[in-house]
Amino acid sequence: KTESTQTCFDCICTSFVKFFVFLFFLVTFPISGFFCLKIAHQYERIIIYRLGRLIPIKGPGVVLVLPCIDHWKKVDMRTKAFNVPPSKLCTSDGCIISIGAIVHFSIQDPRLMSLSVQNMNHSIRDASQGCMMNLLCKKTYNDIKTKRQGLSYDLQVDINQSAKEWGLAVSRVELSDITLIMAPQNKTPAFMPMYGAPPPPETGDAFTGSGVDNFGGIAQFATQLFAQVANAQSQQANDAEPPTSSTMDNLLRVLKTAVNEELVQEVDTLYQFNITGIQDGNFFADLRTGSGVVGLGVCSESPDVTFSLSMSTLQKIIAGSVTPYNAYIGGQLHMDGDTDKAMKLEKVVKDIK
Ligand SMILES: *[C@@H]1O[C@H](CO)[C@@H](O)[C@H](O)[C@H]1NC(C)=O
Ligand SMILES: *[C@@H]1O[C@H](CO)[C@@H](O)[C@H](O)[C@H]1NC(C)=O
Ligand SMILES: *[C@@H]1O[C@H](CO)[C@@H](O)[C@H](O)[C@H]1NC(C)=O
């Protein structure tokens, strides 16, 4: 009973207000027309909420918008491309990858869209990421790289299906920015802590040398370097000693024994290492001329590659409680510069062993 009274009251009010506003529009016509008549182009529609209610969609052409009581919005019906930012997901073979997409969509039903979606970009982004997660988690990393076309099509169908309830239609999806973040741990024995000779890296492996996932090589190089440092330390049998500059001296001694003319010829790179948190924790390896120079401090020229890490991270890596790879993922080991050059050294360090 009260509901129908309420509805009736609402109805009378609406008519009353509409009548006066329209009257006002007519009385002040030439000027009000300037403010109240909107033009929608062929590809546009105007959504009007009049006193809170959605009235039928207007346009294209000239549309009357009443002052004060209308809230209106123009929507563009053309296809738009939306860039879905990369998100991380785990593939069926245990790789963690980061993948984005470009979604081409258009508004199919402006009425439904206006009523059900607050922010179109957010809805498209969340729907796309959800669909990507569902579909790509069942695929292997190789499948994703090689069968991009087919997967893009499957995704388009999925996202189109989810977007339908919002009055949107998805016409095309392209996968983009496929980056390998972490290879499955069992496929990369070089990342395990080790104190002896490292196993030779698998050549032709899907996870090395593809340009996108250069990190594998760097991690391998770092592991080998730290393994050498660990060797030097255990030879001196002073594992329990707190980190001092003697750790730095060990490191330099190991490096000095490792550099020679042959190495310089193959590498031709200037490396800088920054140990954060200790005084003067910098050293460099200039492997570009002669038989190479290794020294404490910062080299005068700008390095090709810089590795930064704290002494405690270095200690953990030496103790084997964290792998360089995990340190990199966890943000404790930073790499700056040319990844190709970092990989070069990795190859050579392996040869030296
Ligand atoms: C949605 O994304 C497009 C392009 O990506 C941008 O131009 C537009 O401003 C965004 N709209 C909102 C409401 O964030
Ligand atoms: C998207 O879904 C709508 C409604 O389900 C359908 O009519 C349309 O053909 C689909 N578009 C594409 C490109 O698959
Ligand atoms: C390495 O350390 C030197 C000296 O502290 C500093 O100038 C340089 O910016 C550092 N490089 C990186 C990548 O942190």
Check residue 73 and give its pLDDT. Answer: 94
CA 215 – CA 300 distance, rounded (Å)? 27
**Nearest ligand atom owner, CA of 275:** 3
CA 208 – CA 216 distance, rounded (Å)? 6
Is the pLDDT score of 215 beyond 90? no
Stretch 267-287: mean pLDDT, rounded? 81
* Contact residues of ligand 1, CB 6 A cut-off: 82-83, 119, 121
> Do the Cβ atoms of 114 and 47 come closer than 8 Å?
yes
Is the pLDDT score of 116 beyond 50? yes
Is the pLDDT score of 328 beyond 80? no
Is the pLDDT score of 219 beyond 70? no
> Do the Cβ atoms of 91 and 139 come closer than 8 Å?
yes
Is the pLDDT score of 76 beyond 90? yes
User: Which class is 80-182 in CATH?
Assistant: alpha beta
Is the pLDDT score of 205 beyond 60? no
Rounded to the nearest whole angstrom, what is the distance from the C-alpha of residue 155 to the centroid of ligand 2? 12
Is the pLDDT score of 233 beyond 60? no
Stretch 318-343: mean pLDDT, rounded? 70
Is the pLDDT score of 5 beyond 60? yes
Q: Using CA positions, which residue lies closest to atom 8 of ligand 1?
A: 121
CA 246 – CA 202 distance, rounded (Å)? 35
Rounded to the nearest whole angstrom, what is the distance from the C-alpha of residue 173 to the centroid of ligand 2? 13
Pocket test for ligand 2, best of 160, 161, 166, 171 (most atoms within 8 A of CB): 160
**Nearest ligand atom owner, CA of 163:** 2
pTM exceeds 0.85 for this model? no
Q: What phi and psi values does residue 135 have, to the nearest 5 degrees? A: -80, -45
* Contact residues of ligand 2, CB 6 A cut-off: 160, 164, 169, 171
> Which is the closest atom of ligand 2 to the Cα of 169?
1
In the structure encoding, which two tokens stand for residue 204, read together?
């032709």
Q: Is 229 exposed, middle or buried (0-12, 13-18, 19+ CB in 10 A)?
A: buried
Check residue 91 and give its pLDDT. Answer: 86
Is the pLDDT score of 237 beyond 70? no
Beta bridge partners of 218: none
Rounded to the nearest whole angstrom, what is the distance from the C-alpha of residue 335 to the centroid of ligand 3? 11
Say if ligand 3 is within 6 A of residue 306 CB: yes
Rounded to the nearest whole angstrom, what is the distance from the C-alpha of residue 121 to the centroid of ligand 1? 6
Check residue 43 and give its pLDDT. Answer: 95
Residue from 336, 221, 342, 353 nearest 287 by CA? 342
Indicate if 247-352 has the same CATH topology as 80-182.
Answer: no
Stretch 121-127: mean pLDDT, rounded? 91
The percent of residues in the chain predicted with pLDDT above 70, rounded, is 72
Check residue 58 and give its pLDDT. Answer: 93
Say if ligand 3 is within 6 A of residue 106 CB: no
Average pLDDT, the chain: 78
Stretch 236-248: mean pLDDT, rounded? 50
Q: Using CA positions, which residue lies closest to atom 2 of ligand 3?
A: 274
Sorted by where each begins, the domain ranges of the chain are 3-76, 80-182, 202-241, 247-352
Q: Within the chain, what is the greatest distance between any pair of CA atoms? A: 99
Q: Using CA positions, which residue lies closest to atom 9 of ligand 1?
A: 121
Q: Using CA positions, which residue lies closest to atom 10 of ligand 1?
A: 121
Stretch 302-319: mean pLDDT, rounded? 76
Is the pLDDT score of 12 beyond 70? yes
Higher pLDDT among residues 280 and 21, named by residue = 21
Tell me: the pLDDT tens digits for 283-296? 888 888 888 888 88
Is the pLDDT score of 325 beyond 90? no
> Which is the closest atom of ligand 1 to the Cα of 121?
1
Q: Does a cis peptide bond (omega within 30 degrees of 0) precede residue 189?
A: no
> Do the Cβ atoms of 229 and 275 come closer than 8 Å?
no
Lowest mean pLDDT among 31-40, 86-95, 214-223, 297-306: 214-223
Strands (E), the chain: 37-40, 44-50, 53-54, 61-64, 70-76, 80-90, 96-107, 168-182, 269-276, 282-287, 293-296, 305-310, 333-337
Is the pLDDT score of 37 beyond 80? yes
DSSP class of residue 208 equals S
> Which is the closest atom of ligand 3 to the Cα of 272?
1
Check residue 84 and give its pLDDT. Answer: 93
Pocket test for ligand 2, best of 164, 173, 174 (most atoms within 8 A of CB): 164
> Do the Cβ atoms of 70 and 64 come closer than 8 Å?
no
Say if ligand 3 is within 6 A of residue 282 CB: yes
Sequence-distant (≥ 6) Cβ neighbours of residue 131 within 8 angstroms = 155, 158, 159, 162
Tell me: the pLDDT tens digits for 137-185? 889 988 898 999 999 999 999 999 999 999 999 999 999 888 888 777 6
Check residue 132 and give its pLDDT. Answer: 92
Check residue 350 and give its pLDDT. Answer: 45
Pocket test for ligand 3, best of 272, 283, 302, 304 (most atoms within 8 A of CB): 272
CATH number of the structural domain 247-352: 3.30.1050.10
